[in-house]
Amino acid sequence: MASTALQESKWFNLIRVILNAAVLVYDYIVNQNRSVLLHCTDGWDRTPTISSLSSLLLDPYYRTLQGFESFVHDVRSQEDE
Q: Region 2-20: what's the mean pLDDT? A: 86
45 assigned ligand-binding residue = yes
Residue 25 amino acid letter: V
Residue 81 predicted with pLDDT over 70: no
DSSP letter string, 8-72? HTTHHHHHHHHHHHHHHHHIIIIIS--------SSSS-HHHHHHHHHHHHH-GGGGSHHHHHHHH
44 assigned ligand-binding residue = yes
| CB-based contact 62:53 (threshold 8 Å) | no
Q: State residue 2's pLDDT score.
A: 58
Question: Could you tell me the pTM of the whole model?
Answer: 0.79
pLDDT in tens, 15-62: 999 999 999 999 999 999 999 999 877 767 889 899 999 999 999 999
Residue 18: CB atoms within 10 A of its CB come to: 16
Nearest to 15 by CA among 25, 23, 4: 23
42 assigned ligand-binding residue = yes
Q: Which residues are catalytic, by number?
A: 40
- Under the banding of pLDDT at 50, 70 and 90, the label for residue 7 is confident
